[in-house]
Amino acid sequence: MLPYATVQEAETALGRSLTAPETLWFNYSAAKSDYLLYCHNILFLFVIFSAVPLYYMLLEVFFLESVKSYKIQPKVKLSVSDMFRCYKSVMRMFFLVVGPLQLVSYPSIKMIGIRTSLPLPSLWEIIAQLGIYFIVEDYLNYWIHRFLHCKWGYEKIHKVHHEYTAPVGFAAPYAHWAEVLILGIPSFMGPAIVPGHMITFWLWIGLRQIEAIETHSG
C-alpha cells in the first residue's frame, strides 16, 4: 500500500510530477495492500493457463495442414477432448497447489524486497531485470530438469509431465505436484538475486508461463 493519500503527496515526496504510468499505478494501487497486489498473480496465471494455449489449439484443430510443416510431430494430432482433459488436470493442480502456494508465499516476496512503491522502474530497468531472470531461470531449470530425468526423479515425479508424449500448450504446467513446487525455485531465484518492482514481477511470471506454453505447443 502506498504511503500517500493523494497524488499531490506522492509528487511532493518524489520532488516532481508523476508520469502517466505512475499516476495510473497510484490510482490503482494506493488503497490496496501489498499482499493483495501480489495475489494478482493467481488471476494472471489462471488467465494465461486458460487462454494462451487456446491459440495453439485453434491452430491445430482448424489450420492443421497449413502449420503441419512446423510441428515437431506432424503425424500426431490430439483431439479436442484430449486437450481439455489435460486442461482440467492442470486446473485441478492450479486450485490445489499453485493458487494456495501463491497465497502463502508472500512473506518470501516481502523478504527479498519486491516493492510496490513509487517511482516506477524505467523501461530499461524492467528489460534488464527480466533478462537476468530468464538467464537465471534457464540455467537452474536445466539442471533441475536433468535431475528429474535421472531414474529416481523420473519414476517418482517427472514421468507425469511426459504422459502427453505429443506436445500440447495446455500440458506446459501439467506435472506432479512436487515438480510444480521444485520448478518454482528457478522462477524465484532471479527476483531474489535482483529484486525489482511488483510490476516487473508480474511481467516475469506472465512471460515465463507464456514461454513455457509456447515451448510445449509442439
Enumerate the domain spans of the chain.
1-32, 35-215
pLDDT tens profile 31-76: 899 999 999 999 999 999 999 999 888 887 776 667 777 777 777 7
pLDDT for res 46: 95
- For the segment 153-170, the average pLDDT, to the nearest whole number, is 88
Q: What percent of the chain has pLDDT over 90?
A: 71
Q: 10 Å Cβ neighbour count for 6?
A: 10
- For the segment 171-182, the average pLDDT, to the nearest whole number, is 92
Q: How confident is the model at residue 5 (pLDDT cuts 50, 70, 90)?
A: confident
pLDDT for res 167: 72
pLDDT tens profile 92-140: 999 999 999 999 999 999 999 999 999 999 999 999 999 999 999 999 9
Over the Cα atoms of the chain, what is R_g?
20
Report the alpha-carbon distance of residue 145 to residue 127 in Å, rounded.
26
**pLDDT of 17 above 70:** yes
**pLDDT of 7 above 80:** yes
**pLDDT of 182 above 70:** yes
pLDDT for res 216: 86
pLDDT for res 114: 95
pLDDT for res 165: 79
> CB within 8 A of 215, min separation 6: which ones?
172
Report the alpha-carbon distance of residue 141 to residue 18 in Å, rounded.
39
- For the segment 181-204, the average pLDDT, to the nearest whole number, is 95
Report the alpha-carbon distance of residue 11 to residue 18 in Å, rounded.
6
pLDDT for res 64: 67
Q: What percent of the chain has pLDDT over 70?
A: 98
- List the grid coordinates of 153: 526423479
- List the grid coordinates of 193: 538475486
| Residue of 125, 103, 124 lying closest to 115 (CA atoms) | 125
| Residue of 102, 76, 32 lying closest to 166 (CA atoms) | 76
Average pLDDT, the chain: 91
- For the segment 176-182, the average pLDDT, to the nearest whole number, is 93
In order, the DSSP letters of the chain are --S-SSHHHHHHHHTSPPPHHHHHHHHHHTTS-HHHHHTHHHHHHHHHHHHHHHHHHHHHHHSHHHHGGG-SSTT----HHHHHHHHHHHHHHIIIIIHHHHHH-HHHHHHHT-B-PSSPPPHHHHHHHHHHHHHHHHHHHHHHHHHHTSHHHHHHTGGGGGG--S--GGGTT---HHHHHHTHHHHHHHHHHS--BHHHHHHHHHHHHHHHHHHT--
